[in-house]
Structure 1
């Protein structure tokens, strides 16, 4: 394996240094390349980048290792989970992979105590693990005492284990998936249905007015949530390169999420999440205002300005906002506003409800919201119509008023 330093242009047009590793694929014996960003600007940093090559070669030496297709029947559950996760790394988004990694790490803490062989794991052992997790699956960071884990989290454990044992069946280590016989008891799925909140146009304007005075950093973010229905990851992933002023469209194609660290990806939550939306007049005004402020900030901070990736929502020095910061600050703002039940994601629901009021059909809504399938859109649609039905109960009072005399004493 060899490494070379190469230049690449970022979205802003500035050049950065990358390490390109050249290696031989152990399966095909063909030469392949892997490009790793150094985060260093091209000018004056070549030698510094070259010093990183030996470390990166050591880190990625596994790329040239022959892949063993034989799996021992005496492999432990913990080792097999590690192998399963490695095999999934190429197929999963970075954030999803890190989530799986954290889940498996937690499960291994439990199973390492007895370290059972994969083929010896029984439904009873899994059921015991799920019950333990429901009662003691989480450690309180302040008291260090064990606390219950949510049913949702334990069900995610079950989902991962189900996939792990499915692959073990394919590998002919076991003949039957033991997870099939085990369920995670708790609240019914309908009790987990998302709580919908639909703000009116007037309520949204009041909210934005409040933010403009008290929490101006949240104003543009709330605007994109309320009128574009964007997810938090999509809002924070917006770059100036996604805005086409001439065609009057904004492309939703990049996300910023946090698992145990922040991930920026040129992908949305679902394939349907990648979409091009109309850049309407008020949105232009919102973005132009942010752009003017960023230019002033860039001039003030000079070389200390750090927005080389061209993100729209940033701190004054150009650093992009952390997803946790946005959630925390918006929650605090809504508490001060007197509406603590409003979350950034509920603005997304409100956007959908306002478009329903304007007569948009399901397919239009599905595309605008970036839903993978129409079922999600229909779910919001039905919840909104149910609320409207209850709000309009006085219509029936008016319609039936002339029949009231039949029941007068």
Structure 2
């Protein structure tokens, strides 16, 4: 049997200069592996507190009731949870999750001992996150997943995040503040003005890209994954079956659409002509660079290496264009909302809009419908007044 230290409790210093105590204790030999087993406890504020915990563990070992806890802190358990989580989600979702934990959850929770996390502690962080973030519920949901993971492993019995009170007053205030902000789409006149300004810059690739976004409502990732074989000029249709995204290493990869379903989008003759013109120019550009643009795998929009474009590039283009011409700033995704809004304004039914944009849930379509342009709202009240008057 290994020789025990006279006093296994030792002090150490945190990064912020505070003093803490820890100890390691021998548990015996693992009957399955034949290897020595030890457990460590740390983060005690006083030597007396560490001594009490040490005596308690020794007592449980003597009685045969001690159960080794491999994951003492939230941060330690998170490491195991995230490895399992990684195998069950898209790489892009995993990347987003890493960011939420790194930026918002781990900085405040990683050092908490799992069994010491109370409802009050969770409530405190829920209130903080609600003040900081619009989508704070997602942060809470992710934070709770690690504790659900702890329940499955018998470390704790209940998840305190399931018992917190959601700050509804803060939520309502944030919704009101959001509604006061400028909407993330263009009206008909704003879109036409944007495309006119863009056309004047004589960059046909950019013009084509934003025109197609506005006239099809495709997601950016779907558009950047598009190949010429996906466009049926004879039947005036585009097949949307895949998208590009970034994994946790910021590398581009090809995946299915957001809903996992393929959809067919009809295109108007003007959009079709613009695409045909771009195809001819792209072939010339690729020939100069030594690429074969006639390949069946040729992308509609590619980078200078004739590979996938970085998704962030479109937003950089957009910002430069709106700044140069002093236009309303929207995001690249705002062109999808623009397309949706103008479809409603043109009188297209909600069901038709849902199918065209590939929304699995009609509520998503309805949420955009609730923020349609002033022209559409005026039209609605005019129709109402006309109906009552006749």
Note if contact 1:162-1:179 (Cα within 8 Å) is conserved in structure 2: yes
Rounded to whole Å, the distance in 1 between the matches of 2:289 and 2:333 is 33
Counterpart pick for 1:213 among 178, 183, 200: 200
Counterpart pick for 1:291 among 262, 279, 289: 279
Once the two structures are TM-superposed, the CA of residue 370 in structure 1 deviates from its matched residue by: 1.5
Structure 1 pair 215–331 and aligned structure 2 pair: CA distance change class (3 A): farther
TM-score of the aligned structures, taking structure 2 as reference length: 0.68
In structure 1, the partner of 2:87 is 90
Question: In the alignment, is residue 116 of structure 1 matched against residue 98 of structure 2?
Answer: no
Note if contact 2:91-2:246 (Cα within 8 Å) is conserved in structure 1: no
- 1:176-197 Cα distance to aligned partner (Å, 9 max, x none): 2111233565443633468545
Any stretches of 5+ residues in structure 2 without a counterpart? 1-66
Question: In the alignment, is residue 340 of structure 1 matched against residue 328 of structure 2?
Answer: yes
In structure 2, the partner of 1:162 is 144
Rounded to whole Å, the distance in 2 between the matches of 1:128 and 1:391 is 47
Note if contact 2:75-2:109 (Cα within 8 Å) is conserved in structure 1: yes
Counterpart pick for 1:103 among 100, 103, 106: 100
Rounded to whole Å, the distance in 1 between the matches of 2:106 and 2:330 is 37
RMSD: 3.6
Secondary structure of the 2:333 match is helix
Once the two structures are TM-superposed, the CA of residue 262 in structure 1 deviates from its matched residue by: 4.0
Rounded to whole Å, the distance in 1 between the matches of 2:373 and 2:302 is 37
Rounded to whole Å, the distance in 2 between the matches of 1:373 and 1:399 is 31
Any stretches of 5+ residues in structure 1 without a counterpart? 1-69, 136-149, 402-409
Structure 1 pair 389–362 and aligned structure 2 pair: CA distance change class (3 A): closer
Note if contact 2:229-2:297 (Cα within 8 Å) is conserved in structure 1: no
Note if contact 1:253-1:266 (Cα within 8 Å) is conserved in structure 2: no
In structure 2, the partner of 1:176 is 158
Counterpart pick for 1:278 among 263, 266, 273: 266
- 1:47-73 Cα distance to aligned partner (Å, 9 max, x none): xxxxxxxxxxxxxxxxxxxxxxx9947
Structure 1 pair 124–200 and aligned structure 2 pair: CA distance change class (3 A): closer
Question: In the alignment, is residue 255 of structure 1 matched against residue 266 of structure 2?
Answer: no
Once the two structures are TM-superposed, the CA of residue 303 in structure 1 deviates from its matched residue by: 6.1
Rounded to whole Å, the distance in 1 between the matches of 2:149 and 2:240 is 35
Note if contact 2:252-2:310 (Cα within 8 Å) is conserved in structure 1: no
In structure 2, the partner of 1:361 is 349
Question: In the alignment, is residue 81 of structure 1 matched against residue 78 of structure 2?
Answer: yes
Counterpart pick for 1:314 among 302, 308, 313: 302
Once the two structures are TM-superposed, the CA of residue 205 in structure 1 deviates from its matched residue by: 2.9
Note if contact 1:151-1:187 (Cα within 8 Å) is conserved in structure 2: no
- 1:196-247 Cα distance to aligned partner (Å, 9 max, x none): 4554545433321211122624211211221101222222222223223444
In structure 2, the partner of 1:326 is 314
TM-score of the aligned structures, taking structure 1 as reference length: 0.65
